[in-house]
Structure 1
Amino acid sequence: MNILFTSAGRRNYLVQYFKKTIGDSGTIHVANSTPYSTAMKYGDQTVITPLISDKKYIPFLLEYCLQHQIDILIPLFDMDLPVLSKNKKRFEKIGVTVIVASEEVIRICNDKWESFKFLQWNGFRTPLTFLSIEEAKQAIWKGVIRFPVILKPRWGAGSLSVYEAENEEEMELFYDKIKRKVHSRKVLDALLHNEDNCVIIQQKLNGQEYGLDIINDLHGNHQTTIVKIKHAMRSGETDFAETVDEPRLEYAGMRLGRTLGHIANLDVDAFILEGVPYILEMNGRFGGGYPFSHIAGTNLPEAIVRWVKGERIKESLLKGKVGVLGYKEILIQEETDQASILITNLGSGEKQ
């Protein structure tokens, strides 16, 4: 069993999880468009790829998969997902299973405006969202929402270019600033269908924030939802979290998994506001919060490997303990002078 991670970045923990899963029965390959990726330090083999936006990107990966007899390809970056989803059948023809959902699912997840429409249409609570300053102003004047509001790129990752506006002047300033930044990001060139509507203005929620790992099998059937309360964030990623028993969000996760029909992991940001669950954002991949589910006992890497082999899994494989608290710790690797992320388990209340 040979596994290739693309756009691996800092996901060294995922490389190690899968390496432990396959043991000596295969090799882990780690790919990135730059050598400055901490995850590459942990692969059995590494390779530098063309940029995702480069026409040579998919042919390069296909050739690499053939040459190294890759069985599973796992993308770890939002902008990688639509490209690989579109070409998924080309990989299947050479015997490679790409762990990515359909083009439609990825389009909904990567486009925050499409996410908003999907969630509203399917009866999920979500922050009110607007595509223009004029629409947002009208909603504020009518008392539908109020300041502060959140502005962010319609297509984006992490917390890049996310601002909170306290008044109309700030809202207009941040809107123009984000728009300029989005247009300067070359990796998005192929993904921007409407450059005039590339910023969203969103109602701010003042509730408790949670992270969900909504796990489906490789046919889109919901398996489980792991809920974590977020105690601290850094650069858009969960830094300190605890697995919790929260039936309202577990039910929302089950509904969302069944409605969307993604495969493997759906990384979701959610809130509970006045006792009501709200879905904020969806990422159709392993997210930065997955390690907190993993250290609690959920083993999605092993489930993926078994599913690809056509094996059944035990229900316990995807069930984690409640009350497990963990944090991410940055370590400096002397030989490369690069930062590495360590996931530490602080213990469990074992409230299963």
Structure 2
Amino acid sequence: MKKVKVYFNRWFSVAYHYMNAIRNNEDGIPFEIYATHSDPEHMALQASDVAEVEPCTSGVEYVRFCADFCRRHEIDVFIPRWNMLDISKHIHWFDDIGTKVIVCRDTELLEQLMEKDLFYESIRQKDIVAIPDYAIASNAEQFKEAYESLAARGHKVCFKPCNAEGGMGFRVIDNERNPLEELFGHALNHISFEEAHHVLSSTESFPNLMVMELLEGYEYSIDCLADREGKLLAAVPRRKAGGRLRLLEQHTELLDVAHKIADAYHIPYNYNIQVKYNGERPKLLEINPRMSGGLHVSCLSGINFPYLAVKSALGNEVGPLYPQYDILASHIEQPITIRKSLH
């Protein structure tokens, strides 16, 4: 049987698990995994069969590189992370060579999902799930006004760049910090208002920051799998349960949120909804239009999220699916030998 060729561009290290999940699929379909990254020794390359170093380029030129890579290697399915929006805008380049791309083709929706303030306004209008109180700041005075307004409403305050991934740039404003204790303890993502304002005042403007209420309840990632048209096939709420523990939970309220978001936006393939509770009320943090960093944990539910997205992209029917819930999981490091450098 001919091997199906799947290509990952510049992914996180956890792509190592996604590649193996596709390779070890339940249907016994043979795969050949291709990967590129700017770091020739990156972990994302180590589970691939064929690896190359990416050029130092961006935007349209980077999309040209990806399209050429797919053409040269006759790639069947491309799973992008880096430069998703530009890739979606030039999806016809991949259509022309017969490569299926696991990406949202609705570029307006994709741009909203990647810019948190844009998506917050969209979700607010649909009344699907609550959003945190927030304001946007692009200069120090706006930051000060946003902080003072939120604090006056009784909120603890945090901030994060509008287009950041994961925890990049996230800070909690904490005016009760003890620098000496921090010096001898664990590094924290806390900063006082005065420190933050001083740093932000050093420049006339900066990329948009979302200044928002700090949510202190349970945090959930809802890993979702949809077909090519965005019909939801499976959803697994995954809760941070302390330290490295994660609980895959059959949470009726959050499963309902997942279905409502799927019905409203039709996001295809793999995506991730992040919510956090404020008391008894869940509030949306963000939606990532890609496989999440913890998706390999949600695969313990019996749903092979990476493989089933590829299966759907190839035009095959997926489902019905029945995730297993109430699974407490964790992870440990495992040493591996890095293969010969691509330098």
TM-score grouping bracket, smaller chain normalisation: 0.7 to 0.9
Match of 2:308 in 1: 303
| Corresponding residue for residue 7 of structure 2 | 4
Q: Deviations over 1:295-341 (max 9, x none)?
A: 1101223322332332222212xx32111122232223345699xxx
Structure 1: which amino acid aligns with 2:300? I
User: Are the equivalent residues in 2 in contact too, given 1:152–1:178 (CA < 8 A)?
Assistant: no
Tell me if structure 2 keeps the 8 A contact 1:293–1:320. Answer: no
Structure 2 match to 1:156:
164
Displacement after TM superposition at 1:255 (Å): 0.7
- The whole-number CA distance in structure 1 between the counterparts of 2:161 and 2:153 is 22
Distance 1:25 1:320, change over 3 A: same
1:134 CA drift (Å): 4.5
Structure 1: 5+ residue runs without aligned partners?
Answer: 184-194, 234-238, 339-352
Q: Which amino acid in the other structure matches residue 116 of structure 1?
A: Y
What is the aligned partner in structure 2 of residue 265 from structure 1? Answer: 270
Q: CA deviation at 1:23?
A: 5.2
CA distance in structure 2 between the aligned counterparts of 1:126 and 1:260, rounded to whole angstroms: 17
Q: How does 1:208-219 map to 2 (within 5 A)?
A: 208-219=218-229
1:18 matched to 2:22? yes
Q: Residue 190 of structure 1 aligns with which residue?
A: none
Q: Would you say how many aligned residue pairs link Structure 1 and Structure 2? A: 315
Larger displacement relative to structure 2 (295-304 or 12-21): 295-304
Contact kept? 2:237, 2:250, Cα under 8 Å? yes
Alignment of 1:109 with 2:113, yes or no, is yes
RMSD: 2.7
What SS does structure 2 have at the residue aligned with 1:311?
coil
Equivalents in 2 of 1:165, 1:259: separation in Å? 34
Q: Which secondary structure state, in structure 1, belongs to the residue aligned with residue 36 of structure 2?
A: strand
Q: Which amino acid aligns with 1:19?
A: R
1:1-352 pair list within 5 angstroms: 1-10=4-13, 11-21=15-25, 25-51=30-56, 53=58, 55-77=60-82, 80-101=83-104, 102-123=106-127, 124-132=129-137, 133-137=143-147, 139-140=149-150, 143-146=152-155, 148-167=156-175, 170-171=192-193, 173-174=195-196, 177=199, 196-232=206-242, 239-316=244-321, 319-335=322-338
Q: Greater CA radius of gyration, 1 or 2?
A: 2
Tell me how far apart the structure 1 counterparts of residues 194 and 78 of structure 2 sit (CA, whole Å): 42
- Asked if the contact 2:229/2:268 (under 8 Å) is kept, the reply is yes
Larger CA deviation: 33-42 vs 247-256: 33-42
Distance 1:278 1:115 in 2: 13
Query: Structure 1 length as normaliser, TM-score?
Result: 0.81
Note the alpha carbon deviations across 1:115-150, whole angstroms, 9 max, x for none: 221221221201111113254145236x3342x311
Show structure 2 runs of 5+ residues with no match.
138-142, 177-190
> Which is worse superposed, 246-255 or 169-178?
169-178
Cα pair distance change 1:122/1:306, threshold 3 Å: same
Deviation of residue 240 (structure 1)?
Answer: 2.9
Contact in 2 for aligned 1:270/1:278 (Cα 8 Å):
yes
Identity rate of aligned residues, in percent? Answer: 19
Against the structure 1 CA distance between its residues 311 and 336, is the aligned structure 2 distance closer, same or farther, given a 3 Å change threshold?
Answer: closer
Q: Does the 8 Å contact 2:237/2:248 carry over to 1?
A: yes
RCO comparison, higher one (Cα < 8 Å, 6+) = 2
Q: Contact 2:100–2:314 (CA<8 Å) still a contact in 1? A: no
Distance 1:52 1:144 in 2: 45
Q: 1:334 to 1:88 in 2, by over 3 A?
A: same
Q: Distance in 2 between matches of 1:138 and 1:178?
A: 15
- Name the CA shift for 1:179/1:231 in 2 (closer, same or farther; >3 Å): farther
Higher deviation after alignment, 205-214 or 162-171: 162-171
